[in-house]
Amino acid sequence: MDNHFTEGNTELLLCIGSLDPRNSFSSFNNSKLVRLAQFYPEDFSILDLELLPNQLDNFIYDVRTDKDLSGLQNIGDLCVMMVKTHRHTAYPLVYLLVKLAPVLPVATATVERVFSSMKTIKTY
């Protein structure tokens, strides 16, 4: 990955991977998810960043003990499940992370393509 992505983008992708719901959230990592929230300073206030670790602990305990949620395969499934089970209101900061996580890589790739195109245009 180091050859294709910057250090910041690699860190971002690793943080997003911490939301993977497969294998009962075995990839779940509080510190990486708090770091992911720090990539969104306009969406997460300082108070939100203080509250997030506790909300993440409660959320992971909740979903790991619910047998109906063991079959989730991706972040999209997680998002749908959170709304269906009303966990989006119980864990609003976690839900915000789940909603924002799929958007950032696309936005980052789009920006990088624009800069790459500008470089090509300026070269010619």
| Average pLDDT, consecutive stretches of 10 residues, N- to C-terminus, the chain (124 residues) | 63 80 84 88 92 94 83 84 91 91 60 53 54
123, exposed or middle or buried, with CB in 10 Å at 0-12, 13-18, 19+? exposed
How many structural domains does the chain have? 1
Boundaries of domain holding 34: 7-123
The answer to whether position 2 is within a domain reads no
The model's pTM: 0.74
Distances (CA, A) of 38 to 4, 19, 45, 72: 23, 15, 9, 26
Is 1 part of any domain?
Answer: no
The confidence score (pLDDT) of residue 117 equals 52
Dihedral sign computed on CA atoms, order 71, 77, 78, 83: negative
